[in-house]
Chains A and B, each alone.
Chain A
């Protein structure tokens, strides 16, 4: 039973398209995150939500819109995809604000 699950695992799409990645956690955590890992494996936070409320928006272009329908779900919608959006997107959750993050398996997005 996967603790943090993301779908889809792979996304290949054309520039200009819109795509979504879904994330669900069954750990009962209040806080969820989106992190981006670029081609050099550098990891950077994009967003965090605590109990459905946006806490961190780390200067991400507004083409990226997270949505948290409830505290167990955090989805990421990306409009007008660009080549530079190609990356692995990781969803994570945490039992406490200063706690360890539990990551999903990642969603590899390739924009052609």
Chain B
């Protein structure tokens, strides 16, 4: 069974501080995919990144960076120099399996609420 754990329920920071969101996953699949989504107060779900299990390169996109460590089954997300607009719930998700009944079946973590105050 697949499982995603986001142990941090809420993180509060002051603007310009860095914030790191933890994501630990469990899967028996040898090929799998990891995702991060952002859900701002307006409620929509915004795709941030997709990472294949065979690509352990870290990625940076502007103020966002992701650290994928297969050895510890973790896919952590860091926001550098946080801004008020970063306030949102962030979800880590796991997908995988090559059979049709696993297509698009993402296992989401419980989410981490990030609150950035001015």
Which residues of A approach B to under 8 Å, CB–CB?
A: 31, 33, 40-45, 48, 50, 55-56, 58, 88, 90, 92, 94, 97-106, 108
Contacts and interface: CB of A to CB of B under 8 A. Distances in A.
Given A56-B101, A97-B100, A103 B45 contact: yes
A106 B44 contact: yes
B46 to A, nearest CB: 8
A45 B108 CA distance: 9
A90 B106 CA distance: 13
A46 to B, nearest CB: 10
B contact residues, range: 20 to 34
Contacts of A102: 47
Given A33-B104, A48-B105, A55-B103, A100 B47 contact: yes
B104 A41 contact: no
B70 interface: no
Interface of B: 33, 35, 37, 39, 43-47, 50, 89, 91, 93, 95-96, 100-101, 103-106, 108, 110-111
A50 B102 CA distance: 12
A94 B100 CA distance: 14
B110 A98 contact: no
Nearest to A93: B104
A50 B106 CA distance: 15
Contact of A98 (B89, B101, B103, B108): B103
Contact of A56 (B45, B105, B108, B111): B105
A106 B43 contact: yes
B38 to A, nearest CB: 11
Nearest to B100: A55
A100 B105 contact: no
A100 B50 contact: yes
List 3 A-B pairs, minimum CB-CB distance, nearest first.
Answer: A97-B103, A103-B45, A43-B108
A55 B99 CA distance: 10
B43 A101 contact: no
A98 B95 CA distance: 7
